Structure 1
Amino acid sequence: MPSWLHPQSHWFVLAVATLVALSATPVVRALAVRLGVVARPTARSMHRVPVPHVGGLAIFAGFVAAVAVSLGWEDRDVVAVLLGGVVMLAVGLADDLWDLPPLVKLAGQVAAALTAVAAGVRIEVLTNPLGLFTASGADDLLVLGAWGVPLTVLWIVAVSNVINLIDGLDGLAAGIASIAALTVLVAALQTGQPMEVVLLMAALAGSTLGFLPYNFNPAKIFMGDTGALFIGYTLATVSVVGLLKSAAAVALAVPIMVLALPIADTALAILRRLQAGRPVMAADRDHLHHRLIRMGFSHRDAVLVMYLITAWLALGAVAVAEGNLLQGLLIVVTLAASVHLVARKLLEWNRQRPRRLGN
């Protein structure tokens, strides 16, 4: 039997998750239409017709099916990830169905994170390149002790919301999540992280890729908070598992780098709302993807631009996983400079566009 057909091959897991999500998505869509679970256009919506949502259920189905055939339910870390994932999925589903108040939604996200922490997913040490404040005999590690619990909860809730907030255009969150999961998978292989990290990321990448054909513009179904929160939660918790098993700084550095675009978008949104005296969780139409649309990009082109930037950041993250600290810093600086250059060129194009149209 070819190696890629082995149940614990990441290629096999990727294929199973993709096929299950691809098959489950039209079923979930039909059920959502029948039950009237649709996202209706609002003043801040980018779509103009009602679109079924809760597509995250298909993503979850693909993920769980792939995990079941490859890892089973005996591994403690896998069970921990899934327990909190079910809670996070329920929070997202409840929000999609009943539009939960922001504080209730946040409390649910914290509960999901605490479920994972209680089951053993916890940031216990961080790489400390300066060697400060470390325990005896751990010159390169910063031992967190009790601080690991709130830090882990903050990390899980933050990444979950980063993916949720970027889910503003057809296919945007699913595509970025696919790139991020594949990047973490490659980095885990490079750095010798446990096979469960590799397989969990393969399951997540496959389930989002299987969902994407139905979600790309024009979307036939949205993932909703059901999918976005679950995806962000899974990226966050599996990264922590990688850190637990290998104590490799790249376990957290890689997802931070590859998600730099939605992280920056979230940070700007928070600052923007604070400056305006508005609630931090209040929605608006001033995210990066909205700005690209206003600059004249089509819906699809705006998504593809953000895919390309994320893919470029992913290449940098993979390079960082292979290199040392100095190489990593050089790559980060190069990436920042290139993204800044692209942003400037886009702004220049936007300023010149009216003149070109007038000629």
Structure 2
Amino acid sequence: MPFFLLATIGAVVAFGVTAVATVLVRRAALRWAWTDAPDGHRKLHSVVTPSAGGIAIFAGAAGATAFVLWAAGQAGLGGAAGLHPIAYVGALAMVAVGAYDDVHGMGFKPKFAVEVLVAYALLHGGYRIDLSALPFIGSDVYLGALYSIPLTILWVVGVINAVNLIDGIDGLASGVVAIAFASMALAFGIRGDLTLVLVALVFVGALAGFLVHNFNPASIFMGDSGSLFLGYVLAVYTLSSPANSDPALAPVVPLLALGFPLLDTSLSMARRVAERRGMFAADRDHIHHRMADRMSVPKAVAALYLVSAGFGMLAVVASSTGGVGVAMTVAAAVALAAGLIVRLGYVRLPYDSPQLVEVDPNASAPASVTRPPDVAAPDVPAAGAPEDEDAEQVPDLAPHYG
């Protein structure tokens, strides 16, 4: 079976199964009160909405993935030989924990403990960040493990929670994760890893099937069953194969592909440290909250899709270039992130933007000049009056035009 035909079939199957399963999960959620109520603050939806949509995403992605990996093996494309069973066990654990939280509620500590546990288990399946290209590590296995193990666990747990944090408005998390999978599929496709391309396209199809029901106004949310599962799968996916021929540059590609959720997570951590709040305390100051305050939810989501696509394209470029090219893509990503941070007011520039004043063209002269309340008008001597030589001379700082 040709690769492109197999990829198309896998994506279509994932789309269809997820779209149908979402309807069934929504009915069950309404029947058994697996719902999420608005609070007028952080939760921006207007009506009680079914949750646990991640179960439908899991059903569509798991079924279609099993099919395409089997078919890929039959077609001689590698099949499931490169995937370790422990990755599937971790995915099941994340879905189960997330679904329990959606239905019954669960504190952050037990969820965090499970995240660390599944991240550690991945190490036994061979999933880890390779640091052997660093000069101070080289072939030293013990020194490599000393740094690789904590960084791998941090990466897996960080990506899981990054996806969870952006799941705040209709359609955002599902669309951003689909864009990240698509960009990583391009990166791995350039490297010739067709099996990983198939897996990514299956998830793109599944997320598109869910997005039909999840885009604003959403009829169902993915809940933690979706965000924890998708974050875990993304983390495993990025650890499955190097995305650049140079091992030292390979970690840059997933960092760029997940640029938006990682940026939002970094801002959240910095904000909570500055405010001396708990690191995992909820708030309403995420990037998507500020965007939704400035425009409608669909426009905010579309704008953040474009931001995510920008990071994703930089990841694709970084996957197929050398050191200088990677440095340029990183610089472009930093500029994109900085522009978003400044535009949303997280950081204020050291100057005030000019204010435009409408002037009536029929008026001969302004009756008065309005000054900011914190600026006092300078003392101007009356016409013909002598100047006080001892008075402080105030330079004329007003701009002159024409």
Which band: TM-score by shorter chain?
A: 0.7 to 0.9
DSSP-derived class of the 2:217 partner: coil
Q: Which residue matches 2:369?
A: none
Letter in 2 for 1:306: L
Mapping for residues 87-98 of structure 1, pairs under 5 Å = 87-98=93-104
Of 114, 117, 120, which residue of structure 1 is paired with 2:123?
Answer: 117
Q: Which residue matches 1:305?
A: 303
Worse-superposed segment, 16-25 or 278-287: 16-25
Count of aligned pairs between the two proteins: 344
Query: Structure 1 unaligned runs (5+)?
Result: none
The 8 Å contact of residues 126 and 143 in structure 1, kept in 2 or not, is answered as: no
Mapping for residues 79-228 of structure 1, pairs under 5 Å = 79-128=85-134, 131-135=135-139, 144-193=144-193, 195-228=194-227
Letter in 2 for 1:297: M
| Residues in 2 aligned to 1:152 and 1:345: alpha-carbon distance in whole angstroms | 33
Worse-superposed segment, 319-328 or 335-344: 335-344
DSSP-derived class of the 2:93 partner: helix
Worse-superposed segment, 71-80 or 226-235: 71-80
Counterparts in 2 of 1:345 and 1:275: CA distance versus 1, 3 Å: closer
Q: Which residue matches 1:77?
A: 83
The 8 Å contact of residues 249 and 323 in structure 2, kept in 1 or not, is answered as: no
Question: Residue 231 of structure 1: CA displacement?
Answer: 0.6
DSSP-derived class of the 1:280 partner: coil
The 8 Å contact of residues 54 and 223 in structure 2, kept in 1 or not, is answered as: yes
Q: What do residues 308-355 of structure 1 show as CA deviations (whole Å, max 9, x unaligned)?
A: 11111111111111111101111221333245346556669xx99x98
The 8 Å contact of residues 94 and 229 in structure 2, kept in 1 or not, is answered as: yes
Letter in 1 for 2:44: M
Question: Residue 76 of structure 1: CA displacement?
Answer: 5.8
Structure with bigger helix share is 1
Q: Which residue matches 2:10?
A: 13
| Residues in 1 aligned to 2:340 and 2:108: alpha-carbon distance in whole angstroms | 35
Query: Is 1:233 aligned to 2:235, yes or no?
Result: no
DSSP-derived class of the 1:71 partner: helix
Give the TM-score taking structure 1 as reference length: 0.87
The 8 Å contact of residues 125 and 142 in structure 1, kept in 2 or not, is answered as: no
| Residues in 1 aligned to 2:10 and 2:166: alpha-carbon distance in whole angstroms | 26
Question: Residue 74 of structure 1: CA displacement?
Answer: 5.5
Q: What do residues 259-303 of structure 1 show as CA deviations (whole Å, max 9, x unaligned)?
A: 112111111111211222221111100001111122x21111111
Q: Which residue matches 2:328?
A: 330
CA RMSD of aligned residues (A): 2.9
The 8 Å contact of residues 273 and 280 in structure 1, kept in 2 or not, is answered as: yes
Mapping for residues 47-62 of structure 1, pairs under 5 Å = 47-62=45-60
Mapping for residues 248-267 of structure 1, pairs under 5 Å = 248=247, 251-267=250-266
Question: Residue 164 of structure 1: CA displacement?
Answer: 0.3
Of the two, which has the highest radius of gyration? 2
Letter in 1 for 2:254: P
DSSP-derived class of the 1:329 partner: helix
Question: Residue 32 of structure 1: CA displacement?
Answer: 0.9
Counterparts in 2 of 1:61 and 1:330: CA distance versus 1, 3 Å: same
| Residues in 1 aligned to 2:244 and 2:322: alpha-carbon distance in whole angstroms | 20
Question: Residue 81 of structure 1: CA displacement?
Answer: 1.9
| Residues in 2 aligned to 1:304 and 1:325: alpha-carbon distance in whole angstroms | 32
Query: Structure 2 unaligned runs (5+)?
Result: 71-78, 361-402
Question: Residue 120 of structure 1: CA displacement?
Answer: 3.4
DSSP-derived class of the 2:123 partner: helix
Counterparts in 2 of 1:333 and 1:292: CA distance versus 1, 3 Å: same
Q: Which residue matches 1:26?
A: 23
The 8 Å contact of residues 244 and 250 in structure 2, kept in 1 or not, is answered as: no
| Residues in 1 aligned to 2:178 and 2:312: alpha-carbon distance in whole angstroms | 11
Identity between Structure 1 and Structure 2 (%): 35
Worse-superposed segment, 68-77 or 23-32: 68-77
Question: Residue 245 of structure 1: CA displacement?
Answer: 11
DSSP-derived class of the 2:153 partner: helix
Letter in 2 for 1:223: M
Counterparts in 2 of 1:36 and 1:338: CA distance versus 1, 3 Å: closer
The 8 Å contact of residues 87 and 111 in structure 1, kept in 2 or not, is answered as: no
DSSP-derived class of the 2:106 partner: coil
